[in-house]
Chains A and B, each alone.
Chain A
């Protein structure tokens, strides 16, 4: 069942100084190195980053999805006041699906191929909400209507492989919402979809977020997608949040050199004929925790103080949070 109801705009998720490290006999990876942010009900936080930035690891840590024996978490993740990192076993199972839900990039593997969609959704409802068979199937049908799947009654009896990619993704969203979670986590849910389908799913997520007053964290590597769905955007690099601000601010006046570089190198038609401004180099190896600014080797504004120690998160005049020791306010736009 969903947790105690909170008022509109109230705090839902509080992440403080999250560190996630993976240890295997072969190597150690410091995937997340001190991430803090809040999410309220009724807002979408977009987390933007490239591969290796730690965005997916951060998201999955909210549900403690990584194997316990090789993962070390530290810091705090609080959902409506309850500390998630302390939860294990039954408490975690209770949390997953009913208070916090997740949708993934590959809908084909989210469903069991030998059961119908309706069966799987109804099963989840019965286990978490304790409803009867008939009630559960009715609710499953309602959910398929909620996610705008045409002919929902027939689709209930369909198997996953009988549905197209876009339909499966909608069904996955229905499954995720089946127990009325207050927080929805989305890990690149539209990356594998065609353009015309992607925009449908993005609009659907936006509408559902409004209708159900959900908090949503949407992880993506595509700036356009982040702009379409988010109210606020956080940019991650090498396991840290390097910038966090309202979506308009981020697009109009990005402060962090990495965010700027990202926006400048994102191809759009207007750039035809010009050379693209590429960020040189590649992201760092995460075998060691960062000693100083992780972006310094690739930054065109780098100075000596960037290499002295890790830069703190600074609040700018317009409410932006930026992790940079440079004179960010005065950097030319």
Chain B
């Protein structure tokens, strides 16, 4: 392993790989005089999460929940308004810690496949060699590394090295996306809807490959997706987001077998049935996910929750442990004031 590219484990298995505390990001809504409107999109609000080493953390939620913003905050592609981040014990972007650039050598991201995910003017091997070269690796070595990477993601370098993105199928482009994320030998890979745009049969190939790569390179994954089945397949722990907040988090079995938050339940039962004899009879919730511009007071889910009461409008629930998982819901916390509280 050369020191130019790899990063070493520092804290041992117990220390979380990435710890984010009280992250907040609000985007101003354009408008008003001089572009200075007073409305904000509260994309992520005081969010705390930790990613353990070698795990796959699944993140689920619908549009407007903020999961893509979280991904970009964790990579520091966007600067948070508030909050701190710690990578394996080192604070990020603070006087005694590591720089954002250093963070980016250890945390990389795979984007959703789209026409904009690969530079149409560069060949595959040029795309893969870019990051190592930018970090000082000589061109010839970067190129040979890139060819090895291509092979690792199942693309024969002799065929695919000099192809342009428009000469690749969706699945092949996504493999290149994944290879690009691995070019700097990161420790944590954030996959933002990485398989969502793929056909199902290709998705299966890519998922198998992701599992193999995780073992081979000792990676940790944060897997963001709207597809609950894929998240269940891949993840060790799952985090459910709604309107910029975490509503439930726990081990995958706990979340899927015994969901505690009404939103998690609704999300799970909204999955189309695979059994024609047991078709869905009624939609679990009505309406659309609301706009993160003016989220409801108190519990943000209360406008669509069948169990909402006064306390839900007045007091915002915090994540509290209920044994196997943590839930942010008044119904699960004794003494909260909700009639269904224990």
- Considering the complex, which residues of chain B in the window 236-283 have a beta carbon less than 8 Å from any beta carbon of chain A? 252, 256, 266-267, 270-277, 279-280, 282-283
A271 to B230, CA, bound (A): 10
Closest Cβ–Cβ distance, residue A207 to chain B (whole Å): 11
Given the interface pairs A194-B63, A251-B274, A267-B229, the reply to whether A200 lies near B207 with Cβ below 8 Å is: no
Closest Cβ–Cβ distance, residue A65 to chain B (whole Å): 23
Which of B207, B227, B288 is within 8 Å of A164, CB to CB?
A: B288
Closest Cβ–Cβ distance, residue A223 to chain B (whole Å): 7
Residues from chain A with a CB closer than 8 A to the CB of B204 are 265-267, 276-279
Cβ-defined contact, A165 with B232, below 8 A = no
Given the interface pairs A202-B272, A251-B276, the reply to whether A196 lies near B200 with Cβ below 8 Å is: no
> Which one, A5-13, A129-137, A224-232, is touching chain B?
A224-232
Given the interface pairs A227-B272, A227-B274, A269-B233, the reply to whether A262 lies near B288 with Cβ below 8 Å is: no
- Complex: chain A residue closest to B206, CB-CB: A278
Q: What 0/1 readout, one digit per residue, does chain A (177-218) give for beta carbons within 8 Å of chain B? A: 000000000000000001111111011000000000000000
Q: Is B38 part of the contact surface with A, judged by Cβ < 8 Å? A: no
Closest Cβ–Cβ distance, residue B230 to chain A (whole Å): 5
Q: Is A221 part of the contact surface with B, judged by Cβ < 8 Å? A: yes
- Complex: chain A residue closest to B285, CB-CB: A196
Q: Is A315 part of the contact surface with B, judged by Cβ < 8 Å? A: no
Which of B233, B271, B276 is within 8 Å of A272, CB to CB?
A: B233
Residues from chain B with a CB closer than 8 A to the CB of A278 are 201, 204-205, 208
Cβ-defined contact, A167 with B274, below 8 A = no
Q: Is A118 part of the contact surface with B, judged by Cβ < 8 Å? A: no
Q: Is B310 part of the contact surface with A, judged by Cβ < 8 Å? A: no
Q: Is A51 part of the contact surface with B, judged by Cβ < 8 Å? A: yes
Residues from chain B with a CB closer than 8 A to the CB of A222 are 200, 272
Q: Is B89 part of the contact surface with A, judged by Cβ < 8 Å? A: no
A261 to B53, CA, bound (A): 34
Residues from chain A with a CB closer than 8 A to the CB of B267 are 195-196
- Considering the complex, which residues of chain A in the window 162-180 have a beta carbon less than 8 Å from any beta carbon of chain B? 164-167
Closest Cβ–Cβ distance, residue A94 to chain B (whole Å): 35
Residues from chain B with a CB closer than 8 A to the CB of A276 are 204, 207-208, 233
A276 to B204, CA, bound (A): 6
Which of B169, B256, B276, B279 is within 8 Å of A282, CB to CB?
A: B169
Which of B207, B226, B277 is within 8 Å of A194, CB to CB?
A: B226
Cβ-defined contact, A165 with B282, below 8 A = no
Which of A166, A262, A271 is within 8 Å of B233, CB to CB?
A: A271
Residues from chain A with a CB closer than 8 A to the CB of B289 are 164, 194, 196-197
Cβ-defined contact, A221 with B200, below 8 A = yes
Given the interface pairs A165-B288, A224-B274, A228-B272, the reply to whether A199 lies near B203 with Cβ below 8 Å is: no
Q: Is B186 part of the contact surface with A, judged by Cβ < 8 Å? A: no
- Considering the complex, which residues of chain B in the window 194-228 have a beta carbon less than 8 Å from any beta carbon of chain A? 199-205, 207-208, 211, 226-228
Cβ-defined contact, A203 with B272, below 8 A = no
A164 to B293, CA, bound (A): 13
Q: Is A275 part of the contact surface with B, judged by Cβ < 8 Å? A: yes
Given the interface pairs A196-B285, A203-B283, the reply to whether A247 lies near B276 with Cβ below 8 Å is: yes
Residues from chain B with a CB closer than 8 A to the CB of A272 are 232-233, 252
- Complex: chain A residue closest to B207, CB-CB: A276
Closest Cβ–Cβ distance, residue A178 to chain B (whole Å): 23
Residues from chain B with a CB closer than 8 A to the CB of A275 are 208, 211
- Considering the complex, which residues of chain A in the window 213-266 have a beta carbon less than 8 Å from any beta carbon of chain B? 221-225, 227-228, 247-248, 251, 261-262, 265-266
A272 to B276, CA, bound (A): 23
Cβ-defined contact, B233 with A267, below 8 A = yes
Cβ-defined contact, B233 with A282, below 8 A = no
Closest Cβ–Cβ distance, residue B174 to chain A (whole Å): 12
Residues from chain B with a CB closer than 8 A to the CB of A265 are 200-201, 203-204
A248 to B207, CA, bound (A): 28
Q: What 0/1 readout, one digit per residue, does chain B (275-305) give for beta carbons within 8 Å of chain A? A: 1110110111111110000000000000000
Which of A199, A202, A266 is within 8 Å of B284, CB to CB?
A: A199
Cβ-defined contact, B207 with A267, below 8 A = yes
Cβ-defined contact, B229 with A251, below 8 A = no
Residues from chain B with a CB closer than 8 A to the CB of A203 are 280, 282-283
Cβ-defined contact, A228 with B233, below 8 A = no
Which of A50, A248, A267 is within 8 Å of B230, CB to CB?
A: A267
A136 to B307, CA, bound (A): 40
Given the interface pairs A196-B270, A196-B284, A269-B233, the reply to whether A227 lies near B276 with Cβ below 8 Å is: yes
A223 to B274, CA, bound (A): 7
Interface positions of A (Cβ within 8 A of B):
50-51, 164-167, 194-200, 202-203, 221-225, 227-228, 247-248, 251, 261-262, 265-269, 271-272, 275-280, 282
Known A228-B272, A276-B204; 19 more pairs at CB < 8 Å? A50-B202, A51-B170, A165-B288, A194-B226, A195-B228, A196-B266, A196-B267, A196-B270, A197-B289, A199-B270, A200-B286, A223-B200, A228-B273, A251-B275, A266-B204, A267-B204, A268-B274, A269-B233, A276-B207
A–B Cβ pairs within 8 angstroms, 16 of them: A194-B63, A195-B226, A198-B270, A198-B272, A199-B270, A202-B272, A203-B283, A224-B274, A227-B279, A251-B275, A262-B200, A267-B204, A272-B232, A272-B252, A275-B208, A276-B207
